[in-house]
């Protein structure tokens, strides 16, 4: 088995090849989520609760708030163009990064680690000091948050370890999982190949947390 290292933090999607830039993908995702889920959910909640806004998480509220402000800009034509660019982005990534195989469907299994500067991410992470993060803030233009949506292939986030962090709420040492995503070519399925197996979750996932 050979291993090839790819630097996903060096450059983002190549626009000259018709790929969708990361910021464009983010905005496309927010606009799509708001149109298909957010707006109907918010309107239904408001109709049943005296016009009050639903208690959304801060990240979702911020993204849907942006989408609501820019709703008029997202015409049917703009959505169609975004889907076209997304499809082209997936084609480039699948052909040049993952690759297909006539026998196994996928030529490579792409393993991408989590963005360590995002963590610890938990219920009270908004009050966590920046110095408490695993690593300083780094640029990673194309991360596993987006890759499966680009490629259209199967993906599974796998926890492989966990680390302690000092909770601002409980004042105790709690545990945060470290994870990576495994991705294959569209049409392949890692579970059927025996690569993915069910694991326990929470404090039962690793002995160190018990």
| pLDDT tens digits, one per residue of 86-125 | 999 888 888 888 888 888 888 888 887 776 666 666 655 5
Average pLDDT over residues 59-68: 91
Percent residues over pLDDT 70 in the chain: 72
Task: Identify the CA nearest to 63 among candidates 22, 28, 114.
Answer: 28
Among 57, 72, 98, identify where a domain stops. Answer: 98
Residue 134: pLDDT over 70: no
Token couple for 192: 């059927």
Q: Is the same domain home to 54 and 77?
A: yes
Among 98, 125, 141, identify where a domain stops. Answer: 98
pTM of the model: 0.70
pLDDT of amino acid 13: 72
Task: Identify the CA nearest to 113 among candidates 84, 93, 142, 137.
Answer: 142
pLDDT band, very low/low/confident/very high, at 157 (cuts 50, 70, 90): confident
Q: Is the same domain home to 48 and 148?
A: no
pLDDT of amino acid 17: 76
pLDDT band, very low/low/confident/very high, at 210 (cuts 50, 70, 90): very low
Average pLDDT over residues 127-150: 64
Number of folded domains in the chain?
A: 2
Q: Is the same domain home to 116 and 59?
A: no
Residue 155 to residue 145: CA distance in whole angstroms: 11
Print the domain residue range for 37: 17-98
Q: Is the same domain home to 156 and 87?
A: no
Q: Is the same domain home to 90 and 113?
A: no
Q: Is the same domain home to 76 and 122?
A: no
Average pLDDT of the chain? 79
Q: Is the same domain home to 207 and 195?
A: yes
Say if 10 falls within a structural domain.
no
Say if 33 falls within a structural domain.
yes
Q: Is the same domain home to 58 and 78?
A: yes
Percent residues over pLDDT 90 in the chain: 24
Among 98, 124, 144, identify where a domain stops. Answer: 98
Q: Is the same domain home to 179 and 113?
A: yes
Residue 162: pLDDT over 70: yes
Task: Identify the CA nearest to 115 among candidates 88, 89, 147.
Answer: 147
Task: Identify the CA nearest to 108 among candidates 147, 141, 162.
Answer: 147
Residue 209: pLDDT over 50: no
Q: Is the same domain home to 190 and 135?
A: yes
Say if 8 falls within a structural domain.
no
Cis peptide leading into 200, omega within 30 of 0? no
Q: Is the same domain home to 94 and 108?
A: no
Q: Is the same domain home to 56 and 120?
A: no
């Amino acid at each position: 088995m050979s291993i090839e290292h790819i630097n996903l933090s060096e450059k983002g999607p190549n626009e000259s090849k018709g790929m969708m830039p990361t910021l464009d993908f983010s905005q496309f995702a927010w606009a799509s989520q708001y149109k298909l889920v957010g707006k109907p959910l918010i309107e239904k909640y408001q109709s049943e609760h005296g016009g009050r806004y639903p208690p959304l998480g801060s990240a979702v509220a911020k993204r849907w708030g942006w989408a609501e402000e820019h709703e008029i800009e997202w015409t049917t034509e703009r959505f169609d163009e975004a889907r076209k660019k997304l499809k082209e982005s997936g084609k480039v990534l699948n052909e040049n990064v993952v690759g297909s195989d006539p026998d196994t469907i996928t030529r490579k299994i792409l393993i991408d680690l989590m963005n360590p500067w995002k963590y610890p991410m938990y219920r009270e992470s908004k009050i966590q000091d920046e110095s408490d993060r695993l690593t300083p803030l780094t640029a990673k233009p194309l991360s596993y948050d987006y890759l499966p949506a680009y490629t259209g292939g199967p993906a599974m986030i796998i926890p492989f370890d966990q680390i302690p962090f000092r909770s601002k709420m409980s004042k105790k040492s709690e545990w945060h999982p470290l994870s990576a995503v495994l991705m294959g070519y569209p049409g392949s399925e890692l579970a059927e190949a025996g690569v993915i197996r069910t694991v326990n979750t929470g404090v039962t996932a690793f002995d160190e947390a018990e």
